[in-house]
Structure 1
């Protein structure tokens, strides 16, 4: 079984094959993790995202889905963008949140990644409780890996920038 772990840190500095971006549907950058990843990756990432918008995703990336791009100046090879459900906008279905984690791992595996850094999608500006995000994320990740839907992925590292969110993930990993 692949390793699933949680660390306190900066997702933009992770030495992994793929970094998951908690994106907005426009894919053109934003705040939080999305803004940090775009800033660290540089203009190449934005150019690839604009190409997606002018090509296969003219209406943006739907909630719960994922798409991969290059990683620009990040130490990773890929960025996997996923759009979490926004609780403030009435998107309260945990299945949409779980889909973010499942699809991110599947897309990372399709791109050839073996190691993936994942943030707490939804736990920031989108208003999800960190304990619920941890529960959903860990369950969806373990289910995806156990079912073989992310072949080749040997490491999933939840990278959390807040001690409280990190603690929520540590608790969930220890109890499940």
Structure 2
């Protein structure tokens, strides 16, 4: 397998935007566009169906990145300190599914921070609890996330009730 370097940031941004709109991978997006153009020019190329898991994984990746961005902004606003996140590095090194699994297996300080600030919508557990992602994450991860969220919501409700 070889890599393709896209040196024009504007073109790369268009490709990423198209992939996001189509909810597919960059590779699949480029493949579809190239196949369509070859077919238009008379070079008939058969289209391969994209596996549902690839689409799910891409969708989860986008949501993880969005949530991470919002979490970092929120944490900076609350603490007054500039910060970042190791999530992007984990996604690059380990991939979407393995990153999510590693984060969900044990409760993180980030989850506790979000629970304490009643912002569970920014927790990866909220993403993992979505049954849509069960085919790629596995039922065990979904259940861990749901249980943790349930307990956190109880803590929040108790705190608000006092």
State the TM-score, normalizing by the size of structure 1: 0.28
Q: Highest relative contact order (Cα 8 Å, sep 6+), 1 or 2?
A: 1
Greater helix fraction, Structure 1 or Structure 2: 2
Greater Cα radius of gyration, structure 1 or 2: 2
